[in-house]
Chains A and B, each alone.
Chain A
C-alpha cells in the first residue's frame, strides 16, 4: 500500500464527497465519512476514471471503509482481480 496510492484514493474520495482530504484516513469507515450507497457508487465511478480500472459490482457491494477501497484498487491496478470474482454471466 504505497503512500502515493493512499494519497490518490483519499483525494478522489475527498473531491467526490466534497469533504476536506484531512478528514479521510486509511482507517475511516464510509459510515464515519457520511458516505451512503449512492455516494459509494459515485466514488467507485471516480476511482474507475482516476485509475483506468473496472470495479466489478460484487466487489463494490462489499466495500465499507477506505482501507478496502485502497486494497481493492491496488489489486486492480496490479493486473489482478478485485476481492470478489468478476461478474461472469
Chain B
C-alpha cells in the first residue's frame, strides 16, 4: 500500500483558465456566474450559468484536431496538460505503458449530439455528422488524454451524474495506492451549455432564476457550470524521491448508494459515504477541519447535507468549516467533483477556507459554519470533498495537507 500524493493540478472553469487563476478567485470569493452566452436562453426560465466565457480552442488545438473533440473533452485535455506540466512528469516507455487515466463526465458530448438531432428532427436534414458518435461518447475525454500523452495503460470513464469525477478520482486513488498504477491522471470534465440540455434542466425546476446561494435561507436552486479539472497522482515516496512538488495527499475514499429515490437525496446515504471516506483514511471524524460540500443550493440538498454532516460529526460539526464553492464555479455536473477536489486541495495547501459566495441570510436548517462570502485563513490538516449524485450515488474524498 502506497500513500498517494497529488503532484499535478490543472483546471479550466468559470473561475479561471489555470489552477493559479482558480485559486486566486477562490480566495477572493469571486463568482463566475453570469448570463449564459453559448446558448439562447430567451425561452428559458433561467438565464445565468458559470461558463468559460470567451473560450476558444485556439491555441490549445489546431482546427483539424478540434473538429474531432467536443468542448467537454477539450476541457479534459487542457486540464490534463496543465496538471502533467505542473507535475513535471518525465515520460519513459514503461511509465506510458502503465499509467492510468480515469475521467468522469455526466452528459459527455451531448451538446454535439443536440446539434445533430436538431438538424435531422427540425431542419429536415437527412444526415447527422459522422463525428457525432465519437465526439459524444463520455469516454472521449479519457481517450484524447491518452492520445495526447501516448499513455497506453488502463483508461476509462465513470459516469455517475454529479458524482462522476469524485468516483473517478477515488478509483484512481485506489489504483495508485494498491500499486496497480505508478501514476494516474484523473478528474472530470463537462460542457452542458446546449439548448436541449438546458431545456431538460429547466423541466426539473431546480435551476435558480438568479444565482446559486448554497445554505442561504433564500436559496433558489442550482446554477449549471462547465469546465474540466485533472489531478496527477503518484505514490508519495516516489514523488518525494524525484523531488516533485506535493500539493496534498489523498488519504481516503468512501462510497454509498441511497437505494431510495432517483432525484431526492438521503441524509443516511450521504452520511455513510462521509463515514466511509473517514474510515478509509483511518481517521476519527474530529480530525476533519474543512468540508467542500456538495452544496448545490437546492432546498433539498442543503438541508439533507447539513443533517448528514451533523450525524457524522456530532458536536465537532460546530468546529467544522463547510463551504460550497458551487456558489462561484457553478454545478459542473460530472466535472464538479474534480473542480471541488481541487478547491479542497488548494485550501489545504495554501491555508485558507474558500467561501460560500452569494450568501444572504442564515437558514436554521443549514446551521453550519458555511464560511459566508469571504475566504478565511486557516491551517487545516484534513479535508473532505462531498459529491451526492442524482440516482443516490454518493462519493467522498479525504485529503491531507
Contact = CB atoms under 8 A, between A and B. Distances in A.
Partners in one complex: yes
Interface of A: 36-38, 41, 44-45, 56-57, 60-61, 87-89
B203 A45 contact: yes
Contacts of B244: none
B47 A41 contact: no
B35 to A, nearest CB: 10
B45 interface: yes
Given A38-B263, A38-B264, A89 B205 contact: no
The DSSP consensus for interface residues of chain B is: loop
A89 B47 contact: yes
B209 A60 contact: no
Given A57-B45, A87-B209, A36 B203 contact: no
B127 interface: no
A35 B264 CA distance: 13
B300 A37 contact: yes
Interface string B192-215: 000000000001110001100000
Contacts of B65: none
Given A41-B203, A41-B205, A88-B209, 4 more contacts: A36-B264, A38-B263, A57-B209, A89-B47
B205 A57 contact: yes
A89 B203 contact: no
A89 B264 contact: no
Contacts of A57: 45, 205, 209, 221
A45 B221 CA distance: 19
Most buried by B among A36, A45, A87, A88: A87
Nearest to A38: B263
Contact of A37 (B45, B47, B221, B263): B263
Interface residues of B, number: 14
B392 to A, nearest CB: 12
13 contacts: A36-B261, A37-B264, A38-B261, A41-B203, A41-B204, A41-B205, A45-B203, A57-B45, A57-B205, A61-B205, A87-B46, A87-B209, A89-B47
A60 B205 CA distance: 8
The DSSP consensus for interface residues of chain A is: helix
Most buried by A among B47, B204, B209, B262: B209
Interface in B23-48: 45-47
A36 B221 CA distance: 18
Interface in B216-268: 221, 261-264
Interface string B294-314: 000000100000000000000
A87 B204 CA distance: 15
B45 A56 contact: yes
Contacts of A61: 205
Shortest 5 CB-CB contacts between residues of A and residues of B: A87-B209, A38-B263, A89-B210, A89-B209, A57-B205
B209 A38 contact: no
B279 to A, nearest CB: 32
A56 to B, nearest CB: 7
A88 B220 CA distance: 13
A60 B209 CA distance: 14
A62 B263 CA distance: 19
Contacts of B221: 57
A45 B203 CA distance: 7
A87 B207 CA distance: 12
A56 B220 CA distance: 13
Contacts of A41: 203-205
Nearest to B262: A38
B132 to A, nearest CB: 28
B375 to A, nearest CB: 27
